[in-house]
Amino acid sequence: MKPLRLEDILFSQGFGTRRVCAGLVQQGYVWVAGQEQSDPGSLFEPEGLVFKVQGQEWPYQERAYLMLHKPAGTECSQKPSTWPSIYTLLPSPLRTRPQKAAVQGVQAVGRLDQDTTGLLLLTDDGKFIHRMSSPKHHVPKVYEVTTKHEISDDQIANLLAGVVLDDSPKPVKAAACERVESTHLRLTLTEGKYHQVKRMLAAVGNRVEGLHRSAIGNLQLPQDLAPGQWRWLSPSDLEKYFKASNTALG
């Protein structure tokens, strides 16, 4: 990767227009390698670069890949109808990273209902979102389900055999189904339909009282990532995810 002007680096990371980014540098708000910067045209190798803007540290990311622990009572929408948007949980630069598409910033890879908690991935890589949203990849997603009634052996058998939903001509099957406790089910799905877990449990005569996504592929939600918090995906995180999806980044 060739060296880039500092104002272009800031622009690519979502810190505003190039004029705004140049102003941040000229006003002394940008530091690189412990040195205050004053020239927006200074050249830096972007790969591996860590800089500070107004005292906050930022790593350069050619593409942004991150995980969010989605809390209850939030919507996976830029324009929520009732509940606060998950995007308000992210710092401004992640929401305004420039893209060729009309929508700026990182976007959620799939959605979770407003009352569902757990692991959510976000990125500004449109090809990645399209590729991972394709049903042909069958990326497994693990849900911790709290049910209203005790879970019977017959219900587990029916979930594994497949249940008929009103919008699917074929029975929808769980890839795995484990009763953790009498009203706690660990359910693995490889496709994503509207309210799928809730409708599948209703189809076998039970009801979802709580729903939490704990994993996507081999990528687990970290125990130290509290609801509402986010973090960058590490190279090992991405490797786990892409290994499970049988595809590659790029």
Q: Which two tokens stand for residue 210?
A: 């709580």
CA–CA dist 165, 202 (Å, integer): 10
Task: End-to-end CA distance of the chain: give it in Å, rounded.
Answer: 15
Q: Is residue 229 helix, strand or coil?
A: coil
Q: What is the pTM of this model?
A: 0.91
- For residues 204 and 198, the answer to whether their CB atoms sit within 8 Å is no
Q: Which positions are annotated as active-site residues?
A: 113
Helices (H), the chain: 6-12, 18-26, 92-96, 126-133, 153-161, 196-203, 235-245
Q: Could you report the per-residue pLDDT of 142-167, keeping only the tens digit for each? A: 999 999 999 999 999 999 999 998 87
Give the residues across from 118 on adjacent strands: 70, 213
Residues of the chain with pLDDT under 70: 101-102, 134-135, 242-250
Going along the chain from its start, the domains and CATH numbers come out as: 4-59 (3.10.290.10), 65-136+227-235 (3.30.70.580), 140-216 (3.30.70.1560)
Q: Could you report the per-residue pLDDT of 46-73, keeping only the tens digit for each? A: 999 999 999 999 999 999 999 999 999 9
